[in-house]
Structure formats: C-alpha cells, structure tokens
Amino acid sequence: MAVADEFGVLTKAFTGLGVDEKSLISILGKWHPEHKQSFRKTTCDIFIEDERQFERWDDRHVQKLQQEFLRFKDAVVLWTMHPWERDARLLREAVYKGPNYGILVETACTRSSEELLGARRAYHSLFEHSIEEDIAFHIHGFEKKLLVGLVSAYRYEGPKYSEEVAKSEAKILKNVIKDGAKKLHEEEEIVRILTTRSKLHLKAVFKHYKETSGNYLDEDLGDQLILKQTVQCLCKPETYFTEVLDVSLKGIGHGFAKEALTRVIVTRADVDLKLIKEEYHQLSGVTLSHKNEEIANGNFKDFMLTLIAR
C-alpha cells in the first residue's frame, strides 16, 4: 500500500466509533521516522503545529482516542452485566453526568414493572440510596415531578382498562396541550396519567387522542422533548430507539449521543431489536448493519455487528 493510502487508512482508524486496531498495528509497526513525521504534518485535524516548530497531538483528540479505545471494553462490560445493575448504572450516570432526561425516561418507561423494580433495588445496593432521591435532589421543576413518578412507577401489566376513562384522559391531554401546559394543576394531570396508567391503557388514550385531534400525541408535543420521549418510550419504543440510533449514527453531538449506539444495541438485543432494525431501515434507507459497517471500527464494530445479527 502506498504511504499516501496508508495515511487515509490510518486517519479513518483514528476516527469514527471504536478504533481499527488491525490497521494501526499493520501500518504503524512498519513505519520509519520520516513516515510518522509526514503523517503528523499532513493530518492537521489530529496534530497541531507548535510555535516551537514541532507537531504535537491535539489534546482533545487524545482524549477522544482514549475514549474510543475503551468503547469496545465498555460495550462488553455492559453486555455481560446483570440487567438490574446495567440499568442502575445507566440511571446513575444519566443523573450525575447530565442530567440526561432521555436515558432516565427510556430506562423507566421501556422496562417491565419487575425490571424497573430490580434496577431500583440494584441502585440501593450499588450507591446506598435511591434513584428517586438523586433525581429529586439534582433535577428541578416539572422534569423532577415527571421523572420521580416514572422511575418509581410499578405499572399494572394485565389486559384490563376502562375505555371511558381512556377517552376522558385523552380529552384532558388535548386541553393541556392546547393551553400549553402552563397551569400547575394541568401539569399534575400529565404526570398522573403518564406515571400511573398501564401501557395498554395509555395506548388507548393515545388512540382516542388521535381520533379527536387528528394528530398523534407525540407530534403535537412539539418542543416539549421530555414529554415526547415519555410518550414514545411507553407506547412506541421502537420509534424512540430508532430516532436515538439515527442521531448517534449520523455523528450528531458528542458524549451521550455517541454512547447511544452501544446502549441501544446492548439493551435491546434480547428485546425488540428486530423491530428497531426494521424501523431504522424505513427511516434511513439503509440497514443498521450496513451503517455500522460504514462508520464503526475494529473490535467494537465486530461486536456491534454480532449483536445486531442475533
């Protein structure tokens, strides 16, 4: 391979999700000093020309690269964790490194009642206090009310619900959204409905909302992102996770956005990843496997592809 071609391969190996370890070893292992110097001089997004006339690593890229080397390890650790511990640690990180409302909502709303209770128990064991008190202390306003209610819910999972009550609550939601959810008692009604009703009941509520308003509820919520995420996670989780993957795989944002690929695939591989893959294909026009093949690297890419193919 020509040196110029090797520069391109190496630049790709240093970027994206994960690190292409095989390319790093095969190319760097045979380079002479002049090759390394030429690479530093021609890769200005990784190296900076210092005022004392040498090319030095951009500190931000060093930190990024260290994170990418850890990405495969983090994915393996997350995959092998007990689901209760995994969710407890995701919740903790979402509170203390954010807050990231999306992760709090998805963990609280896409797990079964027993799974969420297990995560709360694990949180007690790992951190010696409750997720409820952490959210109540670190998050404020309407978001605190909603999130405390969501993580502490133990929803009925049976087949029964009242059609009349569902119609009544659809009307309540329609009036709240029409008025902009400004009044306290109306906010409390939103919290009551979203945090206490069964998912089957809520699907009926949202169906009646569509019939009377002409729009889907999550479409009418506009920029009220936390409410939109809650509605999607409770009744259309595959739509929520597809949108999260789309943002992550487009490379939009940093931190939680990039980590979302690992989180979604690892936590949904044994649940509903088949539905998520189908919806992602419809949304983006490419398969989830193909997109991962395109942007991910090395052992991380191989592990993600293995989970996606399950």
Same fold across 1-81 and 84-154:
yes
Weakest mean pLDDT among 26-30, 148-152, 236-240: 26-30
- Name the percent of the chain lying above pLDDT 70: 93
pLDDT of residue 70: 86
253 is in an annotated binding site: yes
158 is in an annotated binding site: no
pLDDT in tens, 54-71: 888 888 888 888 888 888
Q: What is the CATH class of 1-81? A: mainly alpha
For the chain, the structural domain boundaries read 1-81, 84-154, 163-224, 238-309
Higher pLDDT, 255 or 207: 207
pLDDT of residue 246: 94
308, 277 contact by CB (below 8 A): yes
18 is in an annotated binding site: yes
pLDDT of residue 184: 46
Q: Does domain 163-224 have CATH number 1.10.600.10?
A: no
The rounded distance, in Å, linking the Cα atoms of 305 and 293 is 8
With cut-offs at 50, 70 and 90, classify the pLDDT of residue 209: very high
Q: Does domain 238-309 have CATH number 1.10.220.10?
A: yes
Provide the mean pLDDT of the chain.
89
pLDDT of residue 131: 98
Homologous superfamily in CATH for domain 84-154 = Annexin (1.10.220.10)
194, 153 contact by CB (below 8 A): no
Q: Is the pLDDT of residue 96 over 60?
A: yes
